[in-house]
Amino acid sequence: MAKKQPVKKQTPSITDEQLAELRDIMPQAFTEGKIDFDKLRASLGDFAEERPERYSFTWAGKRDAIRILQTPSRATLTPARKESVEFNKTQNIFIEGDNLEVLKLLYKPYFGQVKMIYIDPPYNTGNDFVYPDNFADPLDTYLKLTGQKDSQGNLLTSNAETSGRYHSAWLSMMYPRLYLASQLLTEDGVIFVSVDNIELNNLSMAMNEIFGEENFIECLGFVKK
């Protein structure tokens, strides 16, 4: 009888995998197992102490959005057999849950295997509900906001236009989800995003950074009659 293997309780760290790939390419850029940014810059031929200003896309909260992306998930997908139709025979699957946590769970088994993704995110009209992702424990935040845990306060708030972080909050929500979606796509895969003019420009810049602006195909507009 085959020996049972323990199942890991959290998803793999995207950062660890990327660092491992970098270590294979540039072992000279690491000191005592950690990346040495001075050595990395030297390996890339960048010896200048003062570099000229360059174009970059950023917003208040981008650093935390990246931390959220890098935080492994402790969630688990549980089959809902009683709510399913021919569970053991079906070729389709419907997953209900926080989309960021689900994307993290799909990252490893479906990396580079998805041909098409369609998303319809909040348009940020001021009435859309945007809950605060927590990079320290994103699953706990989701459980509280969905009523699965005692919230100890109302964390669910709308992203009002009067907020100084109106666009930033939306971008911080979108960025990690778009990045994980990009990791699931095949080399010739495509992603479609429905959005209106409120965040169209910000969405375009975020997607250019993640997917590469050379991969942009078209922006389609529809006029209501």
How many angstroms separate the CA atoms of 109 and 111, rounded?
A: 6
Tell me the pLDDT of the chain averaged across its residues: 82
Q: H helices of the chain, where?
A: 14-25, 37-43, 62-70, 99-107, 138-145, 166-184, 200-211
pLDDT confidence of residue 73: 87
Candidates 190, 184, 182, 176; CA nearest to 211 is: 182
pLDDT confidence of residue 35: 85
For 67, the token pair is: 């931390």
Tell me the per-residue pLDDT of 167-225, one tens digit each, with 9 for 90 and over. Answer: 888 999 999 999 999 999 999 999 999 999 999 999 999 999 999 999 999 999 876 66
Tell me the per-residue pLDDT of 104-132, one tens digit each, with 9 for 90 and over. Answer: 999 999 999 999 999 999 898 877 766 66
Least confident of 31-35, 50-54, 137-141, 148-152: 148-152
pTM over 0.75: no
pLDDT confidence of residue 113: 97
Segments making up each domain of the chain, as ranges: 14-26+57-76+96-212
Alpha carbon dihedral 94, 98, 100, 101, in 10-degree steps, equals: -80
Residue 196 gets the label, from left (phi > 0), alpha (psi -120 to 50) or beta, of beta
How many angstroms separate the CA atoms of 86 and 89, rounded?
A: 5
Phi, psi of 191 (to 5 degrees): -125, 135
Across the strands, what pairs with 192? 118
pLDDT confidence of residue 154: 42
